[in-house]
Structure 1
């Protein structure tokens, strides 16, 4: 028996997936719907052509929140190199993000800890204004 489609989810993007970025999330189909801007606790690292976030701590990371379909979520997992065993480039997490007055449960792609050794942090927490 076929499974019903999973509900749309929210994703917090902080790097090249942001509007105008080299992997602008608007290129996916069906087109993700922008919900608003958000900020999460974490540290942003410069990995060259893209950033990686380590969640938690005192720092803040600036990003955008989008509503995405399950199909787009699968594509994002591929782009971010998510592996079921946790060995991929990014780990898929879920956390609450404040978007205006609303608290939304969002997917966030956190860089695998092994990828940030020797990388500089982005003190502004904003990939677009490094």
Structure 2
């Protein structure tokens, strides 16, 4: 069941857009080392929030936040779902929900932050900057 679901998701949208620790040069970039980087894009439909050791995105207008778009396969998607605590059977219960976003490379999956961002600093333009690497959690 899970494998069939992932295969259908990849057949429909074989790309992922990332905006935080999965981007090149950040601590979790190795999760996408075997994926193909298609390039960067700027999206005005997301606002990033500084959660601390990683960012979270919400569907909120911005001046344009920077994303990287990768071509991925079923294995990548399964690993990213685990990393981002995306729960296929109960998306609203995970830390992130996976949805589609339009990029200059076509539709891509993006992980949106589920919890409240009240009191978290918003990033309306550009990108998230990783805090001191000594306090970065590897799970994100």
Tell me the TM-score normalised to structure 1 length.
0.81
- Alignment deviations for residues 7-28 of structure 1 (CA, whole Å, 9 cap, x no partner): 471000000000011100x444
* Structure with the largest fraction of helix: 2
1:96 aligns with 2:98: no
Query: Who is 2:122 aligned against?
Result: 121
Query: How far off its partner does 1:34 sit?
Result: 0.3
Q: Give the direction of change, closer, same or farther, for the CA distance of 1:79–1:115 in structure 2 (3 Å limit).
A: farther
Q: Give the direction of change, closer, same or farther, for the CA distance of 1:115–1:93 in structure 2 (3 Å limit).
A: same
Unaligned runs of 5+ in 2: 132-140
Matches within 5 A, 1:1-130: 6=7, 7=11, 9-24=14-29, 26-28=30-32, 31-40=34-43, 41-84=45-88, 85=90, 86-98=92-104, 103-112=105-114, 114-128=115-129
Unaligned runs of 5+ in 1: none
Aligned length: 121
* Structure with the largest fraction of strand: 1
- Alignment deviations for residues 86-116 of structure 1 (CA, whole Å, 9 cap, x no partner): 2100010012112xxxx4110000001x231
Tell me the TM-score normalised to structure 2 length.
0.76
